[in-house]
Structure formats: structure tokens, C-alpha cells
Amino acid sequence: MPRPAHAPVRPPEDDLLRWAAFGCLLAPAVLLWRGAPFLTAAGVACGLAAVTAASRVLIRRSRRAGVSSHARAYAPRDAVDSPAG
């Protein structure tokens, strides 16, 4: 089924982060199910959430840096070399 023209395109990184968030919930649940102490499962959940949050920040920063470097690479030469004023 084709996507409508007005539908926003979701970057593949968003899917990756959604799976990471799912893992943040699934791993502690499995640990509890297998008999691990609650504090262990809570520590795993916090650790995975921290890694997921850091990954999200780094992915967004990388995406912004790529967009700005792409814009500079394809900017008109006279706009880049001319002094302001």
C-alpha cells in the first residue's frame, strides 16, 4: 500500500530507538520472570534507559552535523566567500 504524499517520512533511527526502548522494558521483565532480584532488574532497566537516551542524543547530534555540513558543501560559492556587510 503506497504512503500518502503528505505523510512524514520517519528516519530509520527512530525505529532503532523504538526497539531499544522496547528492550529497556523487556530485559527487566525477563529477569524478574527468571527469578532475579527486583533491584537487579531495576538497575538493568536504568542502565539500558541511560544507554538508549545517550544513543538518541548522539544520533540527533550526528544527524544535525550531517545536515549542516551538507548545506555548507552545496552553498553557492559567493555566499560562502563574501565578507558580511
For the segment 48-72, the average pLDDT, to the nearest whole number, is 82
Asked whether residue 35 carries a pLDDT value surpassing 90, the answer given is yes
**Average pLDDT along the chain:** 80
Task: Using the structure block, give the residue that is written with the C-alpha cell 548522539.
Answer: 58
Half-sphere exposure of 14 (CA within 13 A, CB side): 4
For the segment 3-21, the average pLDDT, to the nearest whole number, is 73
Give pTM, 2 decimals: 0.62
